[in-house]
Amino acid sequence: MSLMFILFGGLAIGCALAVVLQRNPLYSAISLIGVFISLSSLYLMLSAPFIAAVQIIVYAGAIMVLVVFVIMLLNVEAEERKRPRLTFLFPVAALLAFVLIGEVAFILYSVKPARTPGPADIGLTKSIGVGLFTTYLLPFEITSILLLMALVGAITLARRTEILSSVSRLMTGPYVPPPEREEPIIKAVEETS
């Protein structure tokens, strides 16, 4: 079990570092999917199979698909090299981060007694369903209204200026830039400041 924790934890940390260090956003997205899959395996080790499956369905299978779509549709390019500004502080920051994590680990080791992960019946679908529909019914209903708000918001934001555009027009072509104006509004503001 410890070996599997070290394996999946190391994979999660490696993919997380790749998310931050990669310059091409598509590679960052693929590394983030790797983080989600290793976290899902860690949830399985913690006897939470429902949360592990929902993590794959929601995060790796829906949210990241949306992010990858946006990256492909907007044709995002890789960032260029960092401009040289205060880069000498990065090793100092890394050292301080290690010190902080060491302190946290020391506190956790000296305070918590050793235990084992829970039995397998607290993470089953049935117990989550019971909790969600009896004790936590109000958050559940509020979450459904939140999703409705997100649906309306996303459709309103991503729509073009015509009121009656149909679904098919969102996907029948690559990104088309807005029509040219003689004086772009944004540049006019910047020139006067």
Partner 1 sequence: MDNPLIHSLLVIVAITIAFLSIMLLVAATVLAERRVLGFIQGRLGPNRVGYGGVLQPFADFIKTMMKEDLVPDQSTKFVFLLAPTVAVITAIMAIIVYPFGPTINLPFIGPIALRIAQFDVALLYVLGVTSVGVYGIALAGWSSNNKYSLMGGLRSSAQLISYELALGLALIGVILMSGTLDIYEIVQQQSGAWGMHWNIIYQPIGFIVYLIAAIAETNRVPFDLPEAETELVAGFHTEYSSIKFLLFFNAEYINMITVSMLATSLFLGGWNGPGVATFPILGLFYFAGKILFFLFLYIWLRGTLPRFRFDQLMNFGWRFLMPLALINIFLTATVQAYAGDFLNLFR
Partner 2 sequence: MMDGPQLSWYLVLSAILFTIGVVGVITKRNVIAMFMCIELMLNAVNLTFVAFSSFFRDVTGQLFVFIVMTVAAAEAAVGLGIIIAIFRNRESLDVDEASILKM
Q: Which residues bind partner 1 (CB under 8 A)?
A: 26-27, 30, 33, 49-50, 52-54, 56-57, 60-62, 65, 68-69, 72-73, 124-125, 166-168, 171-174
| Residue 169: partners with Cβ closer than 8 Å, 6 or more residues away | 160
CB of 152 to partner 2, least distance (A): 10
- C-alpha torsion sign, points 124, 129, 135, 138: positive
Given partner 1, partner 2, none, residue 84, with its beta carbon under 5 to 8 Å by kind, binds none
CB nearer partner 2, residue 164 or residue 186: 186
Given partner 2, partner 1, none, residue 49, with its beta carbon under 5 to 8 Å by kind, binds partner 1
- Report the distance separating Cα 49 and Cα 117, nearest Å: 13
- Report the distance separating Cα 76 and Cα 51, nearest Å: 32
Q: How far apart are the first and last CA of the chain?
A: 61
Given partner 1, partner 2, none, residue 165, with its beta carbon under 5 to 8 Å by kind, binds none
From the list 32, 38, 33, the residue with the least C-alpha distance to 11 is 38
Return the half-sphere exposure (C-beta side, CA atoms, 13 A cut-off) of residue 167.
Answer: 0
3-class DSSP assignment, residue 160: coil
CB of 57 to partner 1, least distance (A): 5
CB of 182 to partner 2, least distance (A): 16
CB of 164 to partner 2, least distance (A): 19
Given partner 2, partner 1, none, residue 164, with its beta carbon under 5 to 8 Å by kind, binds none
Copy the structure tokens of residue 16: 């997380």
CB nearer partner 2, residue 104 or residue 165: 104
